[in-house]
Amino acid sequence: MSFYVVVPARYASTRLPGKPLADIAGKTMVERVAERCQQSGADQVYVATDDARIADVLGDTVPVVMTRDDHPSGTDRLQEVAAKLSLADDDIIVNVQGDEPLIPPAVINQVAANLAANPDCQMATLCEAIESAEDLFNPNVVKAVFDDSGRALYFSRAPVPWHRDAFADGKQDMSAGQWWRHIGIYAYRVAFLHQYVQWQPATLEKLESLEQLRAMANGVAIHVEPACEAVPGGVDTQADLDRLRAQLGGK
């Protein structure tokens, strides 16, 4: 199976400016993410950025594709990369977020293999079981709902599916149903990326602030499967960064 990995890395993070260049035990965030990706089975790993400082740090360790600074989403940035590299329509690109320095290489391989094995889907992604009511009712934990064949039915920040009887009684028995947290890793077919950037943001996408809903609103099938390994959370805040530094022995 052949696939590429692209790591979008923006310097101007809203909650943690300069995040890709944050030092974590002697290496920058973006270097650590790229190293994990290079341990996967990808044919090639690229970092897509709009900032020369990120390109300078990476040097010759990983190819860098310079992209525009006005992309509304990481998916749009990946499409520019695919176009610049003249990738074929049926090539597979895996989007690995630039703030996940502990992502297991196995899940990168998994999401690419899932898309390759499901030709009726144009995207694939992963999930993991939600085991606490705190996560279920947390709008920052995106929930995935999918059918018995693994095709996505919906993604939401709300606690879906809704256990009518238990929740109506104020109960939070997590054994009463099954809920899944969406993991933000995606595999795409290049032809889909070229379509995606031509579509206007969908109503549901804007309501939930979830870009994958633009694909679903336009009839695109998304394959979802539980991750084969636990995926540590990404770095969104200074507190996340501090915990990761402590974990990896940084200061």
Question: Strand 222-226 vs strand 123-129: parallel, antiparallel, or unpaired?
Answer: parallel
Q: Which fold has domain 4-233?
A: Spore Coat Polysaccharide Biosynthesis Protein SpsA; Chain A (3.90.550)
The residue that leads in pLDDT, 144 or 239, is 144
Is the preceding omega at residue 105 within 30 degrees of 0, hence cis?
no
Residue 71 pLDDT grade (very low, low, confident, very high; cuts 50, 70, 90)? confident
**pLDDT at res. 235:** 81
Cα 68 to Cα 220: distance, rounded to the nearest angstrom: 26
- Is pLDDT of 251 > 50? no
Cα 64 to Cα 51: distance, rounded to the nearest angstrom: 10
pTM over 0.75: yes
Residue type, 117: A
Residue 177 pLDDT grade (very low, low, confident, very high; cuts 50, 70, 90)? low
Query: What tens digit of pLDDT does each residue of 40-57 get?
Result: 999 999 999 999 999 999
**Element (H or E) spanning 112, and its range?**
helix 105-117
Q: Which two tokens stand for residue 241?
A: 């960064």
In this structure, the number of other CB atoms found within 10 A of the CB of residue 40 comes to 21
One-character DSSP codes across 131-195: --HHHHT-TTS-EEEE-TTSBEEEEESS--S--HHHHHTT---GGGS--EEEEEEEEEEHHHHHH
Q: Which two tokens stand for residue 127?
A: 């999930």
Cα 126 to Cα 147: distance, rounded to the nearest angstrom: 14
> Using alpha carbons only, how large is the chain's radius of gyration in Å?
18
Q: What is the DSSP letter of 209?
A: T
Cα 99 to Cα 85: distance, rounded to the nearest angstrom: 24
Map out the domains of the chain as residue ranges: 4-233
Residue type, 47: V
| CA-wise closest residue to 186 among 125, 110, 99 | 125
**pLDDT at res. 63:** 96
Residue 176 pLDDT grade (very low, low, confident, very high; cuts 50, 70, 90)? low
Cα 175 to Cα 128: distance, rounded to the nearest angstrom: 15
